[in-house]
Amino acid sequence: MIWIVPAVVLVVPLVAVYFLLIRSMDRYHPAPWWMLGLCLVWGAVGAVGLSVVGDLLGQGAISMALDRDFEDESVFNASATFVAPLVEEPAKALGLLFIYLFFKKRGHESLGPLRGAVFGGIIGLGFTLSEDIAYIVQGGNTTGGAGFVGMFFIRTVMLGLGHATYTAMTGLGFGLFATMRGGWRWVMPLAGLALGMLLHFGRNLFGSYLLMEGLGVLLIVLLNAVVVLALCGLLLWLSWRDRQRVIEGLQGVTGVLITPAEYAAATSGWMLLPGWNLFNLIGLPGGFRAARRKQAHLFQLAFHRQRARHAPPPIPGQPPTLDTEQDTLIAELHTANQRGIRLANEATNPPPVIGG
């Protein structure tokens, strides 16, 4: 038990860094902190609790099938490889299912592909938090300081984004379900879950049956690189898609509601770089919080206008749907302009409101 405190001290800060990196990829419509906190808690408590039960049952079944002791290494390796992915990924996916069933506002930016991948990544991080602490403590209890440090380095440093990547694939499937039309949308969550289980299976297969020396270590490092690149590439691609939607949605706004300098800052490709938006908004006229609020309203307006452009035509004979959300967002931006809140230092003259 002496290893619990140092394990928490080492794992929690690193998981917090991973958390901020994943959350920062949702530049244009970030999820509320409380929702991300619930995702983290589900991964760390709910999904882990269900997985422990399922893993133990699976390990017991394999022990009986192989007629070997429950603690036998072959039983443990077979359970980790063939049972864990089938149990742990659905357990984590239950958190996503709850969000998509009970979250009332569904849309491209509310529960779209990027938001789903972020939710899944955070749930996976919660799972990593609990699982890694348990394994690191076990390593310390078994082989002392060397086992403690080695387990921390392998699991949290080298493979710390593994569970985040697997569940992000499931979240992507849920996000596609929320935004697609047609029958194929129902396949997306299961396809994402299957891909997450396949990646999980691959990592556990290498980790269970390769010697952690020589070629085995090299393959583990390469596998980890593929996992990290898969997660980063997925989030960057989805962020880029959202940026294109923002650019399309802000057509005709420049010089009318915002200045060219504000438009350039809001649509810059540098927005995809973690931390850039934070430093870009610090020191602007009106203060950081007010600038971030104005920016959030601007992005919501962009998504709203872009979605309206691609909406199906109204059904003949039915009255047009009155939409007040766009007017509300425009009014908020107009108020911010009147208060001197800017999104770029070059913007000095308050622009008029659209259709004013």
| HSE, side-chain direction, 13 A CA sphere, residue 312 | 4
- Interval 14-29 mean pLDDT: 90
Q: Domain ranges in the chain?
A: 4-244, 250-308+322-338
Task: Provide the pLDDT for residue 16.
Answer: 95
Burial of 82 (0-12, 13-18, 19+ CB in 10 A): middle
- Tell me the C-alpha distance between 97 and 176, whole Å: 13
Q: In the structure, what pLDDT confidence band is assigned to residue 347 with cuts at 50, 70 and 90? A: very low
Question: Within 10 A of 163 (CB to CB), how many other CB atoms are there?
Answer: 30
Query: The whole model's pTM is what?
Result: 0.86
Task: Provide the pLDDT for residue 58.
Answer: 92
Task: Provide the pLDDT for residue 158.
Answer: 82
Which positions ≥6 away from 20 have C-beta within 8 Å? 274
**Rounded to the nearest 10 degrees, what angle do helices 84-102 and 47-66 cross at?**
150
pLDDT(301) > 50 = yes
Which residue pairs from 138-147 have beta carbons closer than 8 angstroms and sit at least 24 positions apart in sequence?
A: 140/2, 140/3, 140/6, 140/7, 141/3
Q: In the structure, what pLDDT confidence band is assigned to residue 154 with cuts at 50, 70 and 90? A: confident
Q: In the structure, what pLDDT confidence band is assigned to residue 354 with cuts at 50, 70 and 90? A: very low
Is residue 161 within 8 A of residue 228, CB to CB? The reply is yes
The region of weakest confidence among 25-34, 107-116, 132-141, 323-332 is 107-116
In terms of average pLDDT, the best of 40-49, 158-167, 195-204 is 40-49
Instruction: Please report which helix (H) or strand (E) contains residue 35, including its range.
Output: helix 33-41
Residue with the larger pLDDT of the pair 162 and 207: 162
Residue with the larger pLDDT of the pair 62 and 209: 62
Q: In the structure, what pLDDT confidence band is assigned to residue 346 with cuts at 50, 70 and 90? A: low
pLDDT(355) > 50 = no
Q: Tell me the two tokens of residue 74.
A: 């072959």
pLDDT in tens, 243-297: 998 999 999 888 888 889 999 988 998 888 878 888 888 888 788 899 999 999 9
In terms of average pLDDT, the best of 38-42, 145-149, 207-211, 261-265 is 38-42
The region of weakest confidence among 76-90, 210-224, 300-314 is 210-224
Task: Name residue 234's amino acid.
Answer: L
Per the prediction, the chain carries an average pLDDT of 85
